[in-house]
Amino acid sequence: MSRETLENILVPGGAFLMLHEFTNEGRKRRFFFILNREPQRDSVLLLVTATSNICGRLRHRGEGPVVIVSPGEYPPLPLRSAIDCASAEERRRSELFAWATRPDFAVLDPLPRAVLCRLRQAVAVAKTLTPTQKELVLGPQA
């Protein structure tokens, strides 16, 4: 994948799909989204994933930091899904570039502005994120 293609996903709401394994879950294809306000300038990216286990995510976090997205809002998602902003993870931009060399990595269209606005609201209320992490998404807070 070219560096130019990678730079195209370094936008607010940039999206990609790849195989990934979390500690308590098996390896499967996951949708990742970039939350950063200025990802082309930031060396650290704040990433979230989508899960179709909406009830489980809401039971674990509550409604505040969780955003429900339907395929009608974001067509690449095959099912109605939850994005838990309280579970956002920091990754170095260089790590994203390394992932992009994998054969299972696919660049997707960025999230629509309306969905990204809801994610930003969820970040603002997420109690697990540090002020520095929130600043990556929301900008400097007064």
Reported confidence tier of residue 43, pLDDT bands at 50, 70, 90: very high
Residue-level pLDDT at 4: 64
Which phi and psi angles does 103 have, rounded to 5°?
-70, -20
Structural domains of the chain, ranges and CATH numbers in brackets:
3-138 (2.30.30.110)
% residues pLDDT > 90 (the chain)? 66
Report yes or no: 123 and 137 within 8 Å, Cβ to Cβ. Answer: yes
Residue-level pLDDT at 6: 72
Report yes or no: 120 and 69 within 8 Å, Cβ to Cβ. Answer: no
pLDDT, tens digit (0-9, with 9 covering 90-100), for 83-110: 999 999 999 999 998 988 889 999 999 9
pLDDT, tens digit (0-9, with 9 covering 90-100), for 105-132: 999 999 999 999 999 999 999 999 999 9
Residue-level pLDDT at 58: 81
Report yes or no: 96 and 90 within 8 Å, Cβ to Cβ. Answer: no
Close Cβ partners of 109 (under 8 Å, ≥ 6 residues apart)? 15, 76
Window from 38-47, 73-82, 93-102 with minimum mean pLDDT: 93-102
Reported confidence tier of residue 142, pLDDT bands at 50, 70, 90: very low
Asked whether residue 64 carries a pLDDT value surpassing 90, the answer given is no
